[in-house]
Amino acid sequence: MSDIDAVSASGYEAWIDSQFVKPQSFHLPPVTAYLNTLPAASQRGQTAFQWSIWKNFATGEDALRQRVAFALSEIFVVSLNSSIAFSYPRGPAQYLDQLGTHAFGNYRNLIDAVTYSPMMGLYLSHLRNQKENPATGAVPDENYGREVMQLFTIGLYELNQDGTQKLDIRGKLIETYGNSDVSSMGRIFTGLSWAGPDTANNRFSGGGNPVDPDKEIKPMQAYNQYHSISQKQFLGVTIPATTVADANGDIRIALDRLFNHPNVGPFIGKQLIQRLVSSNPSPDYVSRVAGVFNNNGSGVRGDMKAVIKAILLDPEARAAPVGTGTRGKVREPAVRLVHWMRSFNARSTDGRFLYGTSSDPATQLGQSPMYAPSVFNFFRPGYIPPNSRVGAAGLLAPEMQITNETSMAGYLNYMRGVVNAGIGTRGTNNALDIQADYSAELALANNPDLLVDRVNLLLVGGNLSSATRTLIRNGIASVNIGTANPNADLRNRVNLAIFMTMATPEYLFQQ
């Protein structure tokens, strides 16, 4: 509510500017603090990072940075649904911190941090990637070389600035790269491995003496003895064969080439619009955002603050919602939970937000931040639900890829419990760790109209249809305030108001 007041008082742009300068809420420090309370042999897993995700998402004063970092984590996916989770208790927290830092920095630095992250190196397997070996026939791993193009920078097809696909003179799509580009990129991303005081072979392989205790939170380093010296040709650039291997130099050339490709603005810009505002931005909207990516007005390319401002302040983003309109997006399940936490000032009794993952679609949210099923995220930006009205209308609905008969039931059952009893680990007082503060709502619960209007404002920006508002209002009023236990009756009304609102399709589709 205080954020709504702040935006109302100062205007959108001033609020965004104020968010840009809020200190970043980091995940690594609380994770490290928790690990330090454990015996060395138990310093495993992601327990404290899971807590920290919910805490920072729900309470960080840098709400915008946390929100954009989450969006970036769905583009530059490193998933804890992998073997990383057990063995690297600090690396993933550091990775999300890096995304948060560069969320308000420059895209070139962002893609650099992603590329050199040992967590990404593990996830897309370019950590320990070795040059080709003609004797054995072994060739470099092409995984990162492919996905850095397909998913992180330019995508599969050449784009106009407005995000539409370019066509050749025969009317066919133009592929941005071919398999020989991928092979060269595979050779470029060879020779990176763990940070450490030297670049000896055994350190490259994962050993080293001493092993750097912070290697999982430090950028990977170059081991040039494992870097390919063959010619690399990609996207019109040629790095000639050489006798002096230079992994960092080659990677810089490759990332510069990708960064300056005209696809990046529309490719990444449209995905950020989809994550933050609308599944189906108009080509003009994409073009305006891509234009700002290309040049922030001061000749700088890749200025993320300028891009975020362009996305959030665009007239298309700010236009008043219309019931039949298609601007908007299905709220992601994890965002719904954080929204509930923020709207009702949920706080952790312990202070650390003792809650884990929420991945099960049948009993939870079907989505847990940082736990995507693959590098292709929980859902794809181009997803069209089959056999749907959305699809028939020619529209995209990425989040509907994780919306189905089971997840709908699971979400409703889960939120019924959350709204009523909170969430998280059960504490010594038998209450769940994370509890909402409904005092403002309870104060209005004698009056169903005032209560529904407050919840409508907090959760739906006041945009519930009058029919839906009336249904919820009457649902609230159906609880009598008796004399035996009036406080419980008032609480039931608040529970109904929040749960019913969060159950409506009008809430689930954020306009």
Partner 1 sequence: MEVRMKNINQSRRAFLRTASSLSVAGSAAPFALNLATIGAAAAQTAGDYRALVCLFMYGANDHNNTVIAYDTANFNAYTSARAGLTRTLADLLPLTPSTPLTGSNAGRQFALPKELAPLKTVWDSGKLAIMANVGPLIVPTTKAQYTNLSVPLPPKLFSHNDQQSLWQASAPEGARVGWGGRIGDLMISQNANSIFTCNSISGSAVFLAGQASVSYQLGTSGSTAISGITGSLFGSSSASGTLTTLVTSGGNNVFTQDLAETTQRSIDANAKLSAALVTAPDFPLPAELATSSVGAQLRVVARMIAARNQLGAKRQVFFVSLGGFDTHDDQLTTQPALHTQVGNALSYFYNTTVAMGISDQVTAFTGSDFGRTLTSNGDGSDHGWGSHHFVVGGAVKGQRYYGTFPIMGLNNNDEVGSGRLLPTTSVEQFAATLAKWFGVSSTDMSLVLPNIGNFATPDVGFMA
Map the footprint of partner 1 across residues 299-328, applying CB under 8 A.
323-326, 328
Q: Between residues 44 and 416, which has the closer beta carbon with respect to partner 1?
A: 416
Of these, 7, 235, 384, 440, which contacts partner 1 (CB under 8 A)?
384
Shortest distance in whole angstroms from residue 260 CB to partner 1: 23
Q: Between residues 42 and 465, which has the closer beta carbon with respect to partner 1?
A: 465
Q: Which of 249, 251, 271 is nearest to 259 (CA)?
A: 251
Write the Ramachandran bin of 173: left for phi over 0, alpha for psi from -120 to 50, otherwise beta: beta
Shortest distance in whole angstroms from residue 480 CB to partner 1: 8
Using CB under 8 A as the binding rule, whether residue 167 contacts partner 1 is answered as no
Q: Which of 384, 352, 434 is nearest to 51 (CA)?
A: 352
156 CB-near residues (< 8 Å, 6+ apart): 150, 175, 176
Binding flags for partner 1, 177-196, as an x/- string (CB under 8 A): --x--x---x----------
Three-state SS for 179-231 is HHHHHHHHHHCCCEECCCCCCCHHHHCCCCCCCCCCHHHCCCEECHHHCCCCC
For partner 1, which stretch binds (CB under 8 A), given 17-25, 269-277, 398-406, 438-446?
398-406
Using CB under 8 A as the binding rule, whether residue 474 contacts partner 1 is answered as yes
Using CB under 8 A as the binding rule, whether residue 409 contacts partner 1 is answered as yes
Shortest distance in whole angstroms from residue 98 CB to partner 1: 22
Using CB under 8 A as the binding rule, whether residue 391 contacts partner 1 is answered as yes
Of these, 140, 269, 302, 422, which contacts partner 1 (CB under 8 A)?
140
Using CB under 8 A as the binding rule, whether residue 472 contacts partner 1 is answered as yes
Residue type at 6 in one-letter notation: A
Dist CA 415 CA 508 (whole Å) = 13
Q: Between residues 106 and 468, which has the closer beta carbon with respect to partner 1?
A: 468
Q: Strand, helix or coil at 356?
A: coil
172 CB-near residues (< 8 Å, 6+ apart): none
Residue type at 35 in one-letter notation: L
Using CB under 8 A as the binding rule, whether residue 36 contacts partner 1 is answered as no
In residues, how long is the chain?
511
Of these, 22, 44, 257, 416, which contacts partner 1 (CB under 8 A)?
416
Binding flags for partner 1, 89-128, as an x/- string (CB under 8 A): ---------------------------------x-xx--x
The answer to whether the beta carbons of residues 384 and 391 sit under 8 Å apart is yes
Crossing angle of the two packed helices 466-477 and 448-460, in degrees rounded to 10: 130
Binding flags for partner 1, 440-469, as an x/- string (CB under 8 A): -------------------------x-xx-
For partner 1, which stretch binds (CB under 8 A), given 6-14, 250-258, 300-308, 498-506?
498-506
Of these, 150, 160, 224, 230, which contacts partner 1 (CB under 8 A)?
150
Q: Which helix (H) or strand (E) holds 440?
A: helix 439-442
